[in-house]
Copies of this chain bind each other. A is one copy, B any other.
């Protein structure tokens, strides 16, 4: 518990992760962000200091790097970590990316969607760990176990596939919510009426395998409805194409099972 944690990045992920650690009594000794407002806001939350200069990053025991994947290399190459443990939080990037910047490195990837202003119970968030050595892995596991009830060790290749599956189940799903809300909006129907359906669909697969939970015209091979829906969507090429390709995919999946 005497470890000093430095957070590089102050976005949503950094905010939620550092706050969870802080609540458990860990010492966040410094926050870095390019954007002063973000750095300051997070530093106040964590009762600590901040900097917007990479040169002013102080010594710490663990550096948590919660940056956009695309700027990771550029930022890390400017910091001297004195071979302390550096940990990135990305689903997509491999562990090996870090080996140029320290002799001790690891990954701590919390699988959740973080949005400003939403409280999330960190305990229920699965956390995936990977590290260069057993010693660092054990340390990261110990820390992760403090904030989450599900901590798993997973290599970079599998973490990437986990991330892809999360893109389908979360990012892509949310986009379908967006499309449905736009269809409603352009017909003066409040999005409100879809909310119970959205929630029930997510609750259902907490108990039933999604493959078994599939309902709707595509799984019933109801060509009349499908073609009438496609006809209705003709005014929006993007919607029409998505409707068609997802229906086809459902059809192909369930054809095998018949």
User: Which A residues are within 8 Å of any B CB, using their own CB?
Assistant: 68-70, 92, 111-115, 118, 120, 124-126, 150, 152, 154, 158, 160-181, 183-184, 187-189, 191-211, 213-220, 222, 224-225, 228-229, 232-233, 238, 241-243, 245-246, 249-250, 252-253
What residues of B have a CB within 8 angstroms of the CB of A112 in the complex?
Answer: 196-197, 200
Find out whether the CB atom of A175 lies under 8 angstroms from the CB atom of B253.
yes
Q: A169-B177, A171-B218 are in contact. List 17 more A-B contacts (CB 8 A).
A: A69-B225, A92-B225, A113-B197, A126-B193, A160-B232, A161-B189, A162-B189, A167-B216, A168-B243, A170-B197, A170-B198, A170-B215, A172-B242, A173-B177, A177-B213, A180-B210, A242-B246
Find out whether the CB atom of B165 lies under 8 angstroms from the CB atom of A194.
yes
Q: How far is the CA of A188 from the CA of B228 in the complex (A)?
A: 40
**Can you tell how many copies of this chain the complex includes?**
2
Instruction: Given the known inter-chain contacts A152-B193, A202-B202, please indicate yes or no for A172 contacting B176, CB distance below 8 A.
Output: yes
Q: How far is the CA of A172 from the CA of B177 in the complex (A)?
A: 10
Can you pick out 28 interface pairs between chain A and chain B where the beta carbons lie within 8 Å of each other? Answer: A92-B217, A92-B225, A112-B196, A112-B197, A113-B215, A115-B213, A115-B215, A118-B207, A152-B193, A161-B184, A164-B232, A165-B183, A165-B194, A166-B180, A169-B180, A170-B197, A170-B201, A170-B215, A171-B217, A173-B176, A174-B204, A175-B246, A177-B205, A179-B249, A181-B209, A191-B209, A195-B205, A202-B202
Residue in B168, B199, B249, B250 whose CB lies within 8 Å of A203? B199
Q: How far is the CA of A168 from the CA of B208 in the complex (A)?
A: 20
Q: How far is the CA of A232 from the CA of B167 in the complex (A)?
A: 13
* Shortest Cβ gap from A248 to chain B (Å): 8
Q: How far is the CA of A191 from the CA of B205 in the complex (A)?
A: 10
Name A's interface SS.
helix
Residue in B152, B184, B205, B218 whose CB lies within 8 Å of A198? B205
Instruction: Given the known inter-chain contacts A177-B210, A245-B242, please indicate yes or no for A201 contacting B158, CB distance below 8 A.
Output: no
